[in-house]
Amino acid sequence: MRAIRPRLVFIANKRKGRCRIVKKSDADDVLQVRGLNVVFNQQQQQAFSAVRDLSFTLRRGETLAIVGESGSGKSVTSLALMRLLDQAVSEVRSDALLLRRRSRQVIELSEQSETEMRGVRGADMAMIFQEPMTSLNPVFTIGEQIAESIRLHQGLKHDEALREAKKMLDQVRIPEAEAMLSRYPHQLSGGMRQRVMIAMALSCRPAVLIADEPTTALDVTIQAQILQLIAVLQKEMAMGVIFITHDMGVVADIADRVLVMYRGEAVETGSVEEIFRAPKHRILRRCWPRCRGWGQCAALHCRAASRC
């Protein structure tokens, strides 16, 4: 059984534009989300609430799995945290979005300018997207794309950044890393592209990694390798990881805690043992005995399929 530790209490002082940290705290908390709401404004239609009053905390070295059906708000949550939603059509409100940076400074993400967020993304909070082929730039080599992030956040010269990029490719177990630097995304397999995305995301050793279904398009063997790789690097770098997935088998393998989303809300949260052994929400209780993952219920003719 894990020891119970005191919790870190962040208080956002929005009037002064800074955060203060209350003592009796847990310095292992790297991200605190309180009352996150995301609304999309649709032309000539009623505004759509994609995420409602979402709250959770992520600790250093912990893996929090966010699970739920398609459209439940998982990916929107990750994009809101990264400040990547189109502000022209979306509105993000929260009581607190607090990140403890690698420097140990605590910042309120919602108060950062776009220029300041460019310094946060990659350096302190990074994201692995579901489809690497659409995330990698097809006209630049792998080496240039990894080195760009390193140059931006670490201030290294071009040759130094390329050497660091090669080290990262070695770290994610890519063979012939030197030759890989000069290749283009279309010359790589799906598994190799995903390893490159991991190398890029971790090149500056962020405090928080968000992985949005990073293994969905991969076969089972490659999926297992990628999951093991993320776990090893997480331990080496002491990162907090938010893992977004609909595959409950993956959740059982990698998660410490689970947050279940349904129609934009968190309907249940707990340790992976609690969620698997004694699910409390009615949707989980109805579906759990019969299906292994979200999206399989209808094929099994589950009565709760339309609500699961």
Strand-pair partners of 258: 65, 270
Q: 209 or 27: whose pLDDT is higher?
A: 209
pLDDT at 5 over 60: no
Burial class (CB in 10 A: 0-12, 13-18, 19+), 111: middle
For 140-197, the pLDDT digits (tens) are 999 999 999 899 898 899 999 999 999 999 988 899 999 999 999 999 998 899 899 9
Q: 71 or 65: whose pLDDT is higher?
A: 65
Contact between 150 and 204 (Cβ < 8 Å): yes
Q: Which two tokens stand for residue 274?
A: 């609690």
For 217-256, the pLDDT digits (tens) are 678 888 888 888 889 889 988 999 999 988 888 888 899 9
Q: Looking up tokens 């208080």, which residue turns up?
A: 11
What letter represents residue 181's amino acid?
A: L
Strands 96-100 and 29-40: antiparallel
- Where are the alpha helices (H) located in the chain, listed in sequence order? 74-81, 114-120, 132-135, 142-154, 158-171, 177-180, 190-202, 220-237, 248-254, 272-277, 282-287
pLDDT at 24 over 70: no
pLDDT at 23 over 70: no
Phi, psi (rounded to 5 degrees) for 272: -60, -35
Burial class (CB in 10 A: 0-12, 13-18, 19+), 222: middle
Q: Which two tokens stand for residue 30?
A: 């790297």
Could you give the CA distance from residue 66 to residue 236 in angstroms, rounded to a whole number? 23
Name the 3-class secondary structure at 26. coil
Could you give the CA distance from residue 172 to residue 139 in angstroms, rounded to a whole number? 23
pTM for the whole thing? 0.82
Could you give the CA distance from residue 213 to residue 217 in angstroms, rounded to a whole number? 9
Is the C-alpha dihedral spanning 299, 303, 306, 308 positive or negative?
negative
What is residue 280's DSSP assignment?
Answer: -
Strand-pair partners of 209: 126, 241
Could you give the CA distance from residue 84 to residue 82 in angstroms, rounded to a whole number? 5
Using CA atoms of 58, 62, 63, 67 in order, give the dihedral in degrees to the nearest 10. Answer: -40
Strands 96-100 and 106-108: antiparallel
Mean pLDDT of the chain: 83
Could you give the CA distance from residue 200 to residue 136 in angstroms, rounded to a whole number? 10
Express as a percent the part of the chain with pLDDT over 90. 54
Strands 9-13 and 18-22: antiparallel
Could you give the CA distance from residue 196 to residue 190 in angstroms, rounded to a whole number? 10
Residue 88 pLDDT grade (very low, low, confident, very high; cuts 50, 70, 90)? confident
pLDDT value at residue 215: 81
Which residues lie closer than 8 Å to 71 by C-beta, 6 or more apart? none
For 199-222, the pLDDT digits (tens) are 999 999 999 999 998 887 678 888
Mean pLDDT across 25-31: 78
The number of residues in the chain equals 308
Q: 167 or 17: whose pLDDT is higher?
A: 167
